[in-house]
Amino acid sequence: MQRIPIEMAKAGMILAKDVTDEAGRVLCGPETELTTELIEKFKAMGVKFVSVKGHPIDFPWERPYEEEIKLLEARFAKVADDPRLISLKKIIADYLKEKNA
Amino acid sequence: MNETKREIKKRLRNLQSLPTLPAIVGKLTQLIGDERATAHQVAALIEKDQVLTGKVLKMVNSAFYGFPRRISTVSNAIVLLGFNVIRTLVLTASIFESMQATDLSLWEHSLGTAAAAGLLADKLELPNPEEVTTAGLLHDLGKVVLRTEFPKLYKEVATKVKEEKTYFRAAEQEILGLDHGEIGRILANQWNLPERLVEPIAYHHEVEKARKFKKEAAIVHFADIMTRAMGYGSGGDPWVPALNDKAWKLLRLKEKDLQEIIPIFDERLLELRFFTLEMQNELKK
């Protein structure tokens, strides 16, 4: 799953999550295939981001999963003896793993 | 007191008229100080300055406050976020603008910390989550000022971080004799920011020193940790700082809480990346 700005959404992409308008009302559910008309409608209703299936766009700040984990370890290097923070690190690592799957 | 520390404090006291402070701030402070002032009057004053209005609305609509509906008028913003937040945003709008130009990674770190602080404040059901968000946005004010007003000292600190692989704050304490929390506190007091913003700015590394707004300080402390943990932006060094015991006890965060917050935080960070890009494109215009 990837979250992308509505401007980058293209017909044929499949929604991975609900799309909601500014008031929080659900406009469209997961598994819907985007069409040009649907994307225009979302834009008109103030939708800024959508979550789509797969990983259609490579953003410049994204790193391969293995590298992300290495960087995560490096950031925690000075607090490696604090179990509370190691637990936070694990939660982030699990999340990254799930996001990558 | 060491010589550098004395010198910094002296300079900070004379910084009243930061070149970047908009003239409107004085009037605004006066008006907000007047108990009879209404949101409408305050909004009318801000709206006289179109550019400033644009900046304030842009900030209140950005991902770190996380309002689902678009806020399109200053009066609305005041009703939703309160006088304190709006005044602070007006006060700091130009500072953050210069920050984007000079230190994008610190700007990102501040936005990330603001977003995390807002999420934590919501989770812990604090009465004014938007103020805690604003405190997160401003928590490293001392670093901004250090960079703009004391560039030589800033460079020394940065070099020490790089060469000795030490925390930015440790290098500050060694070279300056005080840290960015203290610098931020002096400045925030000088600008008459409310205590609930001053304490988190001053004590986000020493939560036990906070007197009235301990929980707010604890939230900003942990929001700083979360932002560094996710690797978003940079607060001057790349490491997650030590966890403050007092903060941890106050927050009583459970594993489940963090498991819920992290994915939402990551979504906010993505939105902030585009917000930052947008703001930068506007600066170039």
Q: Tell me: the pLDDT tens digits for A8-49?
A: 999 999 999 999 887 778 999 999 999 999 999 999 988 889
* Average pLDDT score over chain A: 93
Residues B162 and B156: their CA atoms lie apart, in Å, by 10
Minimum mean pLDDT range among B37-46, B128-137, B202-211: B37-46
Residues B133 and B138: their CA atoms lie apart, in Å, by 9
pLDDT band at residue B19 using 50, 70 and 90 as cut-offs = very low
Residues on chain B touching A48 (C-beta within 8 angstroms)? 271
Contact A76 B243 (CB under 8 A): no
Contact A79 B267 (CB under 8 A): no
For B225, name the nearest residue in chain A, comparing CA atoms only.
A85
Q: Read out DSSP for A21-41?
A: -TT--EEE-TTPBP-HHHHHH
Dihedral angle computed from the Cα positions of residues B141, B142, B146 and B148, in that order, rounded to the nearest 10 degrees: 20
- Higher pLDDT among residues B78 and B1, named by residue: B78
For B263, name the nearest residue in chain A, comparing CA atoms only.
A95
* C-beta of residue A72 within 8 angstroms of C-beta of residue A92: yes
Residues B137 and B135: their CA atoms lie apart, in Å, by 5
Residues on chain B touching A23 (C-beta within 8 angstroms)? 68-69
* Residue among A59, A75, A84 minimizing CB distance to B239: A75
Chain centroid, CA A24 distance in Å:
18
For B245, name the nearest residue in chain A, comparing CA atoms only.
A84
Contact B248 A72 (CB under 8 A): no
Q: Where are the beta strands (DSSP E) in chain B?
A: none
Residues B68 and B32: their CA atoms lie apart, in Å, by 27
* Average pLDDT score over chain B: 88
Task: Identify which of B146, B198, B200, B197 has the alpha carbon closest to the alpha carbon of residue B168.
Answer: B146
Helix (H, G, I), strand (E, B) or coil at B3: helix
Q: Which whole-number Å values give the CA distances from A25 to A16, A18, B78, B217, in the listed order?
A: 17, 10, 25, 35
Question: Taking CB atoms and an 8 Å cut-off, how many pairs form between chains A and B?
Answer: 69
Task: Identify which of A58, A37, A82, A63 has the alpha carbon closest to the alpha carbon of residue B245.
Answer: A82
Q: Read out DSSP for B89-137?
A: HHHHHHHHHHHHHH-HHHHHHHHHHHHHHHHHHHHTT-S-HHHHHHHHH
Residues on chain B touching A22 (C-beta within 8 angstroms)? 68-70
Q: Which whole-number Å values give the CA distances from A101 to A1, A2, A4, A96, B236, in the listed order?
A: 8, 11, 17, 9, 32
Residues on chain A touching B267 (C-beta within 8 angstroms)? 3, 49
Chain B residues in contact with chain A using a Cβ-Cβ cutoff of 8 Å? 68-70, 167, 225-226, 228-231, 238-243, 248, 255, 258-259, 262-263, 266-267, 270-271, 273-274
Task: Identify which of B138, B139, B120 has the alpha carbon closest to the alpha carbon of residue B129.
Answer: B120
pLDDT value at residue A39: 96
Minimum distance, in Å, between the CA of residue A20 and any CA atom of chain B: 9
pLDDT band at residue B273 using 50, 70 and 90 as cut-offs = very high
pLDDT value at residue B20: 47
